[in-house]
């Protein structure tokens, strides 16, 4: 049964991806990529990775869709620009890269393979010891927050830096600067009136 669901979700994902490729309506593309993320999240649930699915559903399907919609509202761009020349070089690059990636997956271990390197060393230690060392039922949380605390600290700093970057590029600064900005814009409109 799980195999059937896997196939259904993967087929739906490729249908969504091709519709994104075909569509020229940017609003539709944003909504379709949200649907793609939601399907990816359901696929992660089937792979028993609920924490990843949770993140994908909230960030991929939720926040990024919203931010793209906000961007569309600012730019007033409704349709993708038409390409005049046929993109032969990009198609060749994409096909070669895709073939290399498919060739790479041939060497990868099967899903859930007990002999796979990722299921052999640290994972066994985490499963056996984390109950005694951390005492928390969700092993993902104990790995994320305790064993890999440095990584999560780094990730938090990355998110912090992203917010600082957005504020520096788009933020209007503090209230003191706002008055200045208002003054400048009012001056400009006065000039336009003249």
Partner 1 sequence: MKHFSVLRVISKLMIPVILLFALYVQFHGDFGPGGGFQAGVIFASAFILYALIFGVHLARRVIPSSATRILLSFGVILYTAVGIAGIIFGGNFLDYNVLGQNNITGQHIGILLVELGVGITVAATMITVFFVFASQES
Residues of this chain that bind partner 1 (CB under 8 A)? 50-51, 53-55, 58-59, 62-63, 66-67, 70-71, 73-76, 133-138, 140-142, 144-146, 149-150, 152-153, 155-157, 159-160, 162-164, 166-167, 170-172
Which of 100, 170 has the CB closer to partner 1? 170
Q: How far is the CB of 122 from partner 1 (least distance, A)?
A: 18
In this structure, are residues 134 and 142 in contact, taking their beta carbons and an 8 Å threshold?
yes
Q: How far is the CB of 101 from partner 1 (least distance, A)?
A: 28
Which of 67, 99 has the CB closer to partner 1? 67
Segments in 47-148 forming alpha helices (H): 50-55, 64-75, 88-106, 122-133, 139-142
Give per-residue burial for 83-111: e unless 16+ CB within 10 Å, then b.
eeeeeeeeeeeeeeeeeeeeeeeeeeeee
Q: How far is the CB of 168 from partner 1 (least distance, A)?
A: 10
Nearest to 9 by CA among 28, 33, 29, 37: 37
Q: How far is the CB of 190 from partner 1 (least distance, A)?
A: 18
Which of 11, 136 has the CB closer to partner 1? 136
Which of 22, 148 has the CB closer to partner 1? 148
Q: What number of residues does the chain have?
A: 194
Q: How far is the CB of 19 from partner 1 (least distance, A)?
A: 25
Which of 14, 183 has the CB closer to partner 1? 183
- Going from the C-alpha of 153 to that of each of 55, 144, 149, 150, the distances in angstroms are 17, 10, 6, 5
In this structure, are residues 51 and 140 in contact, taking their beta carbons and an 8 Å threshold?
yes
Q: How far is the CB of 75 from partner 1 (least distance, A)?
A: 8
**DSSP states along 140-188:** HHHIIIIITHHHHHHHHHHHHHHHHHHHHHH---SHHHHHHHHHHHHHH
Which of 92, 181 has the CB closer to partner 1? 181
């Amino acid at each position: 049964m799980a195999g059937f669901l896997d196939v259904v979700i993967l087929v739906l994902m490729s249908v969504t991806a091709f519709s994104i490729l075909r569509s020229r309506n940017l609003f539709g593309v944003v909504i379709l990529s949200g649907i793609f993320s939601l399907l990816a999240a359901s696929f992660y649930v089937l792979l028993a990775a609920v924490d990843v699915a949770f993140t994908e559903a909230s960030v991929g399907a939720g926040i990024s869709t919203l931010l793209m919609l906000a961007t569309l509202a600012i730019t007033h761009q409704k349709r993708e620009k038409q390409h005049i020349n046929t993109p032969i070089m990009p198609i060749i690059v994409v096909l070669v890269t895709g073939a290399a990636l498919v060739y790479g997956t041939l060497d990868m271990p099967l899903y859930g393979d007990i002999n796979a390197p990722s299921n052999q060393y640290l994972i066994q230690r985490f499963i056996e010891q984390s109950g005694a060392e951390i005492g928390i039922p969700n092993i993902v949380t104990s790995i994320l927050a305790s064993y890999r605390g440095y990584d999560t600290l780094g990730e938090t700093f990355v998110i912090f830096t992203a917010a600082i970057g957005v504020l520096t590029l788009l933020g209007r600064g503090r209230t003191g600067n706002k008055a200045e900005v208002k003054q400048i814009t009012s001056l400009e409109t006065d000039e336009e009136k003249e």
